A and B are shown apart, each in its own frame.
Chain A
Amino acid sequence: MKRKIVIFLCSFIVIYVFNFSIPRLMPGDPFSYSSSVSGEDNITDLSREQIEYLRSYYGMDKPFFEQFTDMVSRNLRGDFGLSIHYKRAASDILAERLPWTLFIMTSTLALSLLIGSLLALWCIRSKRADRIVYGVASVISEIPPYLIAILLLFLVAANVRWLPLSGAETAFGVYATELEWIKDVLLHALLPMTAMCLVTIPRFYFTARASFLGIVEKPYILNAKAKGLRERRIRWRYIFFNGITPVIARFFLSVGSTVGGTLLIENVFAYPGLGTVMREAVKYRDYIMIQDVFLLSATIVLISMFLADLINGLVDKESADL
């Protein structure tokens, strides 16, 4: 337990320091970049004095260590810098965009957990269904989700009238009731979520399958059968409830890969989450925004990995007790 917390904290510190030092280790800065790029939409010709002024304004002329302590104290106060492209507080933009990403991610994972474990539970009954589902799942799980998203976009959404192509809600939409808004949001989230789910369901299915198969062989299942319990009761009360813990740990473990997938898929559907912010930040060399998005997503992943570790620890304890 202590070791896990140490690793968790160290990972965070490593990421934080990495995030801090990487832009300072490389030559150039956004100001020299933005005054050298022309032809794109950010033409800002800065004079030498203006660059000097901006450098001292952003504290870039101070020594390395002082900049670090500055950043820590500012971050602790909830100040994550001004976005160079949006010209607003980065934390405000992140607060606007994060809910959309979290919405897609958590609902994808929850749905995949549900479908994946039910699929596994259904498949342990028949060998043939298991073989087919296992084969299909192992192929689909290897496809990068953003390719599935592009295919869905062109093969399905472009041909169907009622499916929106992009965005998270209808632009300038006016809704009579809350329900209508929810319906609109769900409709917009349908394709991104389907693309993600197709790839994440197999992963949950594999975990659940391995876990359930391990339980089917336990003596207490044989005992339950000998007692003459009904098939349904055995399946739900004995197999499902005893085998679901590693699947729940999988939920948190999958956050890491899901973040990557979501960042890409959001760009396919122009979904207003962290992924599109990241791409825009990359396009305009908005370093502060890139770093904040990275720090935020890394922190989310770290916390969920830690939670997964805790749950897996519980599982080990349980099996040690038996």
Chain B
Amino acid sequence: MKKVIILCAAFAAITLFFLYGATLYPHGSRLPSGASLEAPSALHLLGTDNLGVDIYAQLSSGFFRSMAIGLATAALAALLGGLLGIMAGYLGGRFDTAVSFLINILLSVPQLPIMIVVGAFFGQSTGNIIWIIAIFSWAPIAKQVRAKTRSVCGTRYVQLAESYGGGALYIIVRHMGRDIFPLLAINGIAVIGMAIIQESSLAYLGLSDPLAKSWGLMISKATAFSGIFFTDFWKWWILPPVFSLMLSVVCLRILARALESYFIKER
């Protein structure tokens, strides 16, 4: 529990740090606010990029964009995975076979290449990225939820509730919810982290919305800047997005893991 609190606090600190950059900080993330490639100073906390746009402001708007994409994807994936997993585990039979088959296929397809293909063909909008990542994230969730539902289905208290004539919805919410919802929450948090990574990878390859300031796009643009190796620009242009990405992703993933061990120990 201590670990969970520490990680939550760390994540809150990260959010606050970027909240300041997105709201009170005087420079915008879209328009130039200084000379091009200025070093960090009191005026521009992290310097400016080649177009003179403040990097801290860009980072901050990138954080909220990444989080929004991550949350949307996680919500979609948890909904789809939870629904299909519960239904497959509870109903069994043909439906279960079909869903398990689908899960197995999705789990055996390499994610990044297929995302590149879909992204390349369907265009580079934020909406597309969300549903593409969600489609490939629900399968592992559904697999776990299905297994959990099946194991809970076999317990005596569920059988008892069934013999009383409890409806499917009642049994799922009242008797299985205690086991399934934490599982969904944990996996949802893990998916947020993964979605952020995937989005930044796609952006790095040039397959993200070219107008939105995302961390992947910042990294991609900075590394493509010719002669960046011979200058000092990378110190404030490349390191901040790389470290923000690393920090927030690692924080989220470890939080998911800490929550997992917390719930397992509790039960």
Which A residues form the contact surface with B (CB < 8 A)?
Answer: 7-8, 10-11, 14-15, 18-19, 22-23, 26, 138-139, 142-144, 146-147, 150-151, 154, 158, 165, 256, 259-260, 263-264, 267-268, 278-279, 281-283, 285, 287, 290-291, 293-294, 297-298, 301-302, 305
Contacts and interface: CB of A to CB of B under 8 A. Distances in A.
B85 to A, nearest CB: 18
Contact of B238 (A19, A138, A150, A278): A150
Contacts of A294: 113-114, 116-117
Nearest to A279: B205
Contacts of A15: 109
B206 A264 contact: no
B162 to A, nearest CB: 30
Interface in B120-148: 120-122
Interface of B: 101, 104-105, 108-114, 116-122, 193, 197, 200-201, 204-207, 219, 223, 229, 234, 238-239, 242, 245-246, 249-250, 253-254, 257
Contact of B109 (A143, A291, A301): A301
Given A19-B117, A139-B254, A290-B116, A267 B242 contact: no
Given A11-B105, A264-B201, A147 B245 contact: yes
A interface SS class: helix
A172 B235 CA distance: 32
A23 B118 CA distance: 9
Contacts of B254: 138-139, 142
Contact of A279 (B206, B229, B246, B257): B206
B108 A302 contact: yes
B interface SS class: helix
Contacts of B110: 256, 259-260, 297-298, 301
Nearest to B230: A158
Contacts of B257: 138
A142 B249 contact: yes
A237 B96 CA distance: 43
Which 10 residue pairs spanning A and B have beta carbons closest together? Answer: A260-B112, A142-B253, A301-B110, A297-B113, A144-B197, A11-B105, A294-B117, A305-B108, A294-B113, A142-B250
Given A151-B242, A282-B206, A22 B121 contact: yes
A30 B206 CA distance: 18
Contacts of A293: 113
A270 B246 CA distance: 22
Given A143-B249, A158-B229, A298-B114, 9 more contacts: A11-B109, A26-B121, A150-B219, A154-B229, A165-B229, A263-B112, A263-B113, A282-B119, A297-B113
Nearest to A8: B108
Contact of A10 (B101, B118, B239): B101
A297 B219 CA distance: 25
Contacts, number: 115
B113 A260 contact: yes
A222 B111 CA distance: 44
Contacts of A297: 110, 113
A154 B238 contact: yes
A146 B201 contact: yes
A22 B197 contact: no
B250 A278 contact: no
Contacts of A138: 254, 257
A278 B201 CA distance: 13
Contacts of A19: 117
A179 to B, nearest CB: 29
